[in-house]
Amino acid sequence: MSIFDIFTNQLLNGIVLGSFYALVALGYTMVFGVVKLLNFAHGELYMVGGFAGFLVLSFLAPYVGPGWFGVAVSMVLAMIAVGFLGVVIERVAYAPMLSAPRLSILITALAVSLVLQNGMLTLTKGQYVPFGASLGFGGVRIDNFFISYNQMVLVGVAAVLMLALELFVSRTQYGRAMRAISVDKDMARLMGINVNAVIAITFFLGSALAAAAGTMAGAYYGSLWYFMGFLIGLKAFTAAVIGGIGSIPGAMLGGLILGLLESFGTQLPGVGSEWKDVFSFSVLILVLVFKPTGLLGKPEQERM
Amino acid sequence: MADFPERPSAWGGLAVLLDTPQKRYAAIAVILVAMAVAPYVFGSYGTVILTNALLYVLLALGLNIVVGYAGLLDLGFAAFFAVGAYTVGITTLHFGLNFWLALPLAILLAIIAGIVIGAPTLRLRSDYLAIVTLGFGEIVRITARNLRETGGASGLIGIDSPWLFGWHIRTPLDFYYVFCVLAILGVIASVRLANSRLGRAWLYVRHDEDAAEAMGINRVKVKLAAYVVGAIYGSIGGAFFAANLGAISPESFSFRQSVLILMAVILGGMGKIPGVILGAFIVILAPELLRDFGDLRLLIFAVGLLLIMLFRPSGIWPARSKSR
């Protein structure tokens, strides 16, 4: 393998990884935009999304098959189910807390995340669960560069979802309401915007995107684990911060950058794959220290 | 007392119950006697569990200073626990250092780690601190797992137990009494801090940062002090933890450990010393009482945490002082 081959392969790895990070980061950033809340449970929604997709697939596999169509159907159903779960979480746990001190909201969010994580631990007894999709191993080979159909579809679906979200936020009335709330919630309410409904939609969309990423990760990597949301939650948060929290294009860009940083960073001498996570968390800390507004974020003049 | 609301006491409802010095001295005497005879009542297995509970009391008291006093969410507290344990483990095993020399070194390293992580991030929004501490906790655990000096995934074994003036602290009973002393010192230090100028500054910053800043309190410095004091508690706990078990491994310092300590702080009632002690005992004793529940334990705690935050944010321990 020449240097060029290593480069192109790592580029592909980085883009695949970055697609997952970006999809999950979008949820963080959207929720943060409208309610100024760091939804710690967001990584767990990715995990629950994976399991929801698995559940749907195992029920529907006899009718739709475990192939592409089956995974697509399970992904959509998982997105809807987890979207509603996100709304329920917001109604039950966050809505009563929004006027409470920030520490209380943070701890509540952590508690929600622990309930989901340990609930799944209890259900799965801590075992890895095979996802059960069979998508084949085909792909396109150009010299030493190999890109599988799975990777193409995954990146393509992620791109379509992100484009759809961007259009929703920039072109529709609800998107405009969402942006208005992120600027000034109280004023938006005075202007006749149904703030609670918009917050619910935001949670629905953010959670649904996380579920899409979770199902795709299950199909792509082949197995699920109750703890799989922890690390990606942390990474996606890093991606959201790199791009500038609250900014939707920022989350996509941040996800891609983090994915590429990780896949190339682990190629550096002295940084093996066992240091991958340390590498990304160090990036997070450095970004927060030197550029807390991220690449595309607006400078924030808000009380701490 | 007139209509002035009383300053919330770190003692919670106890301040009402034990309102005269005589009652207080009597209560302290009862607690000390109970601590002294407990190992003979509960047997050798009970002693080990109690020792563990006392370790958690110490750790939870430390985290309580960060979360309860200063109002900062630290999700990587186990990192400081790890710094203490690994410093003692490495220096006594590889460099033959005496435990009592390794201990101050462990504290010093924890202070440095606390400043390095806290100083830049405490200026930011408080939720950023939570995530950064979470990341820091993972960095420490992964580093411990990957380095040769820390023994990799299997950790360090054969850490010597310390001597104190000719007394070899060795048996579980010895360590039980050592942890009794540590927990008592931890309580005293927490009380003294809560009633100090710094303690009042924490209270102020927790309730209204901007007003505190306007009154001339250096917000970042005060928060950093809380973070560093918490780190010292964690590191001392870790040092004695390593000496007690004689073996440490990276998985003792995982996110789950940080969460358990945080649960101890919040379940009992953050900011209140009796509540934190109660919380530490709940976290350690509940799995002993509910042994059959296995994996359900953390789920039950997590649901409990959620219910407490939604319905009783001040914790299980009664919070109200007389005048409220």
Does the structure show a pLDDT above 70 at B291? Answer: no
Strands A223-224 and A129-130: antiparallel
What's chain B's average pLDDT?
82
B313 interfacial to chain A (CB closer than 8 Å)? yes
In chain B, which residues have their Cβ closer than 8 Å to the Cβ of A300? 125
Chain B's closest residue to A125, CA to CA, is B295
In chain B, which residues have their Cβ closer than 8 Å to the Cβ of A275? 142, 146
Strands B167-168 and B163-164: antiparallel
pTM value?
0.86
Give the distance from CA A46 to its chain's centroid. Answer: 7
The pLDDT of residue B292 is 66
Q: What is the pLDDT confidence band of residue B127, given thresholds at 50, 70 and 90?
A: confident
Integer Cα distance of A60 and A124 in angstroms: 20
Chain B's closest residue to A98, CA to CA, is B310
In terms of Cα–Cα distance, which of B264, B244, B195 is closest to B57? B264
Contact A114 B302 (CB under 8 A): yes
The pLDDT of residue B321 is 43
Chain A's closest residue to B132, CA to CA, is A285
In terms of Cα–Cα distance, which of B182, B150, B166 is closest to B54? B182
- How does pLDDT run along chain A (304 residues), one tens digit per residue? 677 888 888 888 889 989 989 999 998 888 888 888 888 889 999 999 999 999 999 888 888 777 788 888 899 999 999 999 999 999 988 888 877 777 888 888 889 999 999 999 988 888 888 887 777 777 778 777 778 888 888 889 889 998 999 899 889 998 899 888 888 888 888 988 888 899 999 999 999 999 999 999 998 888 898 888 888 988 898 898 888 888 888 888 999 999 998 888 777 776 677 788 888 888 888 888 788 787 877 665 444 3
The pLDDT of residue A300 is 57
In terms of Cα–Cα distance, which of A286, A262, A258 is closest to B135? A286
Q: What are phi and psi of A145, to 5 degrees?
A: -95, 125
Compute CA distances B86 → A244, B149, B250, whole Å: 36, 10, 9
Total domain count, chain B: 1
Name the residue among A117, A122, A285 with its Cβ closest to that of B296.
A122
Segment B214-243 mean pLDDT: 90
**CATH number of B84's domain:** 1.10.3470
Contact B121 A118 (CB under 8 A): no
3-state SS class at B137? helix
Name the residue among A110, A115, A277 with its Cβ closest to that of B142.
A277
Integer Cα distance of B123 and B134 in angstroms: 17
- Residues 48-77 of chain B with CB under 8 A from chain A are 67, 71-73, 75
Integer Cα distance of A29 and A46 in angstroms: 15
Residue B190 maps to a domain: yes
Contact A230 B255 (CB under 8 A): yes
Q: What are phi and psi of A99, to 5 degrees?
A: -100, 0
Instruction: For chain A, give the number of residues.
Output: 304
Contact B142 A110 (CB under 8 A): no
Residue B1 maps to a domain: no
The pLDDT of residue B4 is 46
Kindly list the structural domains of chain A, giving each domain's residue range(s) and its CATH number in brackets, ordered by start. 3-290 (1.10.3470)
Name the residue among B71, B75, B210 with its Cβ closest to that of A303.
B210
In terms of Cα–Cα distance, which of B199, B185, B187 is closest to B69? B199
In chain A, which residues have their Cβ closer than 8 Å to the Cβ of B126? 102-103, 106, 304
The pLDDT of residue B158 is 73
The pLDDT of residue B8 is 57
The pLDDT of residue B1 is 38
Burial call A147-162: b when 16+ CB within 10 Å, e when fewer: bbebbebbbebbeebb
Contact B124 A115 (CB under 8 A): no
Residue B14 maps to a domain: no
Amino acid at B61: L
The pLDDT of residue B7 is 55
Integer Cα distance of A45 and A85 in angstroms: 8
Compute CA distances B23 → A197, B17, B20, B30, B31, whole Å: 56, 9, 5, 11, 12
Query: Which alpha helices (DSSP H) does B208-254 contain, by range?
Result: 209-214, 219-245
Contact A107 B72 (CB under 8 A): no
In terms of Cα–Cα distance, which of A55, A56, A113, A114 is closest to A86? A113
B317 interfacial to chain A (CB closer than 8 Å)? no
Residue B244 maps to a domain: yes
Closest CA of chain B from A141, distance in Å: 36
Residue B30 maps to a domain: no
Residue B323 maps to a domain: no
Contact A285 B121 (CB under 8 A): yes
pLDDT in tens, B159-187: 777 777 767 777 777 888 889 899 999 99
Residue B37 maps to a domain: no
Integer Cα distance of A160 and B114 in angstroms: 44
Q: Which residue has the higher pLDDT, B16 or A12?
A: A12
In chain B, which residues have their Cβ closer than 8 Å to the Cβ of A110? 73, 75, 130, 259, 262, 305
The pLDDT of residue B318 is 58
Give the distance from CA A108 to its chain's centroid. Answer: 20
What percent of chain B is modeled with pLDDT above 90?
A: 18
Residue B18 maps to a domain: no
Closest CA of chain A from B159, distance in Å: 27
Does the structure show a pLDDT above 90 at B13? Answer: no
| Structural domain of B97 | 50-311
Contact B309 A97 (CB under 8 A): yes
pLDDT in tens, B65-121: 998 888 888 888 999 999 999 998 888 887 877 888 888 999 999 999 999 888 888
In chain A, which residues have their Cβ closer than 8 Å to the Cβ of B142? 274-275, 277-278
ipTM: 0.82
DSSP string, B66-92: IIIIS----S-THHHHHHHHHHHHHHH
In chain A, which residues have their Cβ closer than 8 Å to the Cβ of B121? 285, 288-289
Segment B140-156 mean pLDDT: 80
